[in-house]
A and B are shown apart, each in its own frame.
Chain A
Amino acid sequence: ETGVTQTPRHLVMGMTNKKSLKCEQHLGHNAMYWYKQSAKKPLELMFVYNFKEQTENNSVPSRFSPECPNSSHLFLHLHTLQPEDSALYLCASSQGLAGAYEQYFGPGTRLTVT
């Protein structure tokens, strides 16, 4: 596979469930990102990892927990979510920090919290 892949593509979970989103990039990039896209709102940057180290956490609630075991894989662990967390969650990667580099996006995971 090439590019940035995300699994699952769709996820429905209850507020008491625990689930994880997975992102994998096959581009040899060093930086990876999680974004949230809610209806009628701008994309929101959630987390940034550079060389496996978290460099940004944009005041994201602790019910979202990222994990970056290596430069190719990024996870978003979810627990006790709220209905307002329903959104499209996008992963992206770039060669370096994306101010100076083009970002490549995955297809997203459509999350519904019931």
Chain B
Amino acid sequence: KNEVEQSPQNLTAQEGEFITINCSYSVGISALHWLQQHPGGGIVSLFMLSSGKKKHGRLIATINIQEKHSSLHITASHPRDSAVYICAVSPTGNQFYFGTGTSLTVIP
């Protein structure tokens, strides 16, 4: 069993739609990270959360520590948002557990 579960695994949306990707984890954490991986492999860190909510442009990330759950929202989705979104949690500074990722395709 993976310590981090993401849903959905695959998601196709029309341009402009509101998108939500969910992440549940089973361990106590010091931080949760949302990452974006484009075709070709490059990974970019989107958010690092330990509580509450963060917003960057059209991206919003929330976390509920008590429920061990986080969501990544994309408002007004665009084809350039097509990528794999990965949730990662850190129980301690030395360790990381990763979800298998959500593959998002936004159709024009």
A, B from the same assembly = yes
A-side residues, CB < 8 A to B, are 37, 40-45, 48, 55-56, 88, 90, 92, 96-105, 107-108, 110
Q: In the complex the two chains form, is A99's CB within 8 Å of B43's CB? A: no
7 interchain residue pairs of minimum CB distance: A97-B93, A99-B90, A99-B93, A105-B43, A42-B98, A43-B98, A108-B41
B-side residues, CB < 8 A to A, are 2, 4, 29-31, 33, 35, 40-45, 48, 86, 88, 90-101
Q: In the complex the two chains form, is B31's CB within 8 Å of A100's CB? A: yes
Residues of A within 8 A of B31 (CB): 99-100
Across the A-B interface, how many residue pairs have beta carbons closer than 8 Å? 64
Q: In the complex the two chains form, is A107's CB within 8 Å of B98's CB? A: no
Residues of B within 8 A of A105 (CB): 35, 42-45
Name A107's contact: one of B4, B33, B41, B94 (CB within 8 Å): B41
User: Which residue of chain B has the shortest Cβ distance to A88 in the bound complex?
Assistant: B41
Residues of A within 8 A of B97 (CB): 42
Residues of B within 8 A of A107 (CB): 40-42
A99→B31 CA distance, assembly (Å)? 6
Q: In the complex the two chains form, is A42's CB within 8 Å of B33's CB? A: no
When A56-B94, A56-B95, A99-B30 are in contact, do A110 and B100 touch as well, CB less than 8 Å?
A: no
A68→B100 CA distance, assembly (Å)? 29
Q: In the complex the two chains form, is B96's CB within 8 Å of A98's CB? A: yes
Q: In the complex the two chains form, is A40's CB within 8 Å of B100's CB? A: yes
